[in-house]
A and B are shown apart, each in its own frame.
Chain A
Amino acid sequence: MATDPDLMPAKPGLFARNCETLLRTLIPICVVVGLILLWQFIITVNGIPQYILPGPLAVANSLYNDWGTLWPALWVTTQITLQALALALIGGVGIAIFLVQSKWIETAFYPITVILQVTPIVAIAPLILIYAPTTQVALLICAFLVAFFPILSNMVQGLKSVDHNLLNLFDLYGASRWQTLLYLKLPSSLPYFMTGLRIGGGLALIAAVVAEFAAGSAGAGSGLAFRLLESQYRLNIPRLFAALILLSVLGVVIFMITSFIAWAFLHRWHESSLKREN
């Protein structure tokens, strides 16, 4: 039987697909550029002074001229954020595995983790600052405490949501506790872990900034939060905006990296990362 070419579904051409990808990238960029132009336009037309609201040009200028001050601060904040996130990942996953070992362990320890989480970090920060050997360590502890909880609670949820039949199957084949953890529970909780990672990544940055506000540290080893405060005191509003933009960029980069990691691990099998045609 000959196939009627008229009945074949039309495949989207390479051009059409590339066009869509291009538009997906171009549209958000156009919106941002448009808003920046509008911002500059309002500043210029109304003659708003720089110390109230600087225009994007002034901010770009500050970003360029103050790079020597801003770059080390950005690096410090990035380091604290990433170190805190790494510790939170190790701690969150480790303690989650410990908690789900028995109902009694969970009953005993889970409330403590909740208390740590619900107590506002700014309120504990002064205490941590007293006990920690250096300000950097104090900031790290604060950021860790905040990022740790979403990873822990998601991991606990994931480890407890393993398909009951699969657990039975492992049991039937005489799998050891270690094998069940390694081959079943951990891979099965990967989607939950990724959710925790994405939330934890964002929170680690927020906590690193908030803790630095609370610490009010100064000097060469300071992060972007201190540069923000310093710019505020000196009414150097363009630099304040420049520091703010750097923080946003850092946040976006962390979000993109964690989203990419989630995609890389899940796209072949998990519902959340699959492309559907219907």
Chain B
Amino acid sequence: MTTSQAPLMPAPGDSRKRPLVVMRSVSKMFSSGTLALSDMSLSVEGGEFVSLLGPSGCGKSTALRIIAGLGDVSAGTIDWPSSRINSRGLPEGDISFVFQEPTLMPWQTVFGNVHLPLKLRGVSKAAARDEIMKTLATVGLQDFAEAYPRELSGGMKMRVSIARALVTKPKLLLMDEPFAALDEITRQKLNDDVLRLWRETGITVIFVTHSVFESAYLSNRIVVMKARPGRVHADFPLMTSMSRDAHYRTSEEYRQACEKVSNMLLEAIGGEEH
């Protein structure tokens, strides 16, 4: 079964009327001959928090990388209707990426790591200092600016990675299973942090995960994907009247949301076996 409903938008503003990114019938075949994505279409509007959920090998990370411009498509197009496009067909400075690993430069301090995207644009350390410290403060790491990555815990490294992604004030934040390697307590904390940042900045997030609970907690739209070849199985909004916090985690509404998402995922996996 494929459910396809128009997602409900939170408080629509002017910038949120046009889609931010539109994937049209995108397919991706690797040089090994594996068809990683088949005819995937997805339109994400400004301010959405979309989770790409699915079993491993369903192409969710591939889809995210393709949106980021890391790798070409074999067929189909990706459009950015509300952004200025650079020579590589990507929206200039509008996207940031958070990898599964913190992916920090070990030879740079926390400050140096967060400075990187600005440095590549030619902004000096001195000119970027205020912005970097402000961004570090939003992830609670203002006191660790001079620390090296090896001195930080896994969760803190991930916060640095998020700060680096946010320092350019992107419109779209792409997150590829960012908290999969963290313990449950740290993961919940970071989930709350990401939600807070999403609310405060109005940024659009596409979040790849294989966790039903994480996707049900974070997103206001879920795209369930199917494997071999990777394709969209279901695409539905997930709205709640409650604010997403510790109370929501234990509420009946969250349980129902998890059940719905879980059923969709089971369907996607079940369909794959036949």
Residues of A participating in the B interface, judged by any CB pair closer than 8 Å: 163, 165-166, 168-175, 179, 183-184, 187-188, 190, 268-270, 274
Contact = CB atoms under 8 A, between A and B. Distances in A.
B260 interface: no
B106 interface: yes
A171 B92 CA distance: 13
A112 to B, nearest CB: 30
A187 B69 CA distance: 25
Give the interface SS of chain A, mostly helix, strand, loop or mixed: helix
A269 B148 CA distance: 7
Interface stretch (B11-19, B95-103, B131-139): B95-103
B103 A169 contact: yes
B106 A172 contact: no
Given A172-B69, A268-B148, A274-B150, A165 B103 contact: yes
Contacts of A163: 103
B150 A269 contact: yes
Give the interface SS of chain B, mostly helix, strand, loop or mixed: loop
Contacts of A168: 65, 70, 97, 99
Contacts, number: 55
Nearest to A265: B107
B66 to A, nearest CB: 12
Contact of B106 (A170, A173, A175, A269): A269
Contacts of B92: 174
Nearest to A190: B107
B117 interface: yes
Tier of interface size on chain B: 20 to 34
B70 A174 contact: no
A174 B86 contact: yes
Contacts of A179: 120
B232 to A, nearest CB: 24
A173 B107 contact: no
Contact of B120 (A166, A174, A268): A174
Given A173-B117, A183-B119, A270 B106 contact: yes
Given A166-B105, A174-B120, A183-B119, 17 more contacts: A165-B101, A168-B97, A171-B70, A172-B69, A172-B70, A173-B120, A173-B168, A174-B86, A174-B90, A174-B92, A184-B105, A187-B105, A187-B108, A268-B148, A269-B150, A270-B106, A270-B107
Contacts of B107: 187-188, 190, 268-270
15 contacts: A163-B103, A168-B97, A169-B97, A169-B99, A169-B103, A172-B68, A172-B70, A174-B86, A174-B92, A179-B120, A183-B120, A187-B105, A188-B105, A268-B107, A269-B150
B116 interface: yes
Nearest to A165: B103
Contacts of A190: 107
Contacts of B150: 269, 274
A272 to B, nearest CB: 12
A172 B88 CA distance: 10
A274 B106 CA distance: 13
Contacts of A268: 107, 148
Nearest to B87: A174
Interface in B147-170: 148-150, 168
A172 B98 CA distance: 11
B120 A170 contact: yes
A269 B69 CA distance: 31
Contacts of A165: 99, 101, 103
A166 B86 CA distance: 21
Interface in B248-271: none
Nearest to B164: A169
A63 B65 CA distance: 68
Interface in B105-124: 105-108, 116-117, 119-121
Interface hub of B92, B96, B117 (most chain A Cβ within 10 A): B117
Contacts of A174: 86, 88, 90, 92, 120
Complex A-B, nearest 9 residue pairs according to Cβ-Cβ distance, in ascending order: A165-B103, A269-B106, A173-B120, A165-B99, A187-B107, A175-B120, A269-B107, A173-B117, A168-B70
Contacts of A187: 105, 107-108
Nearest to B174: A172
A184 B103 CA distance: 12
Nearest to A270: B106
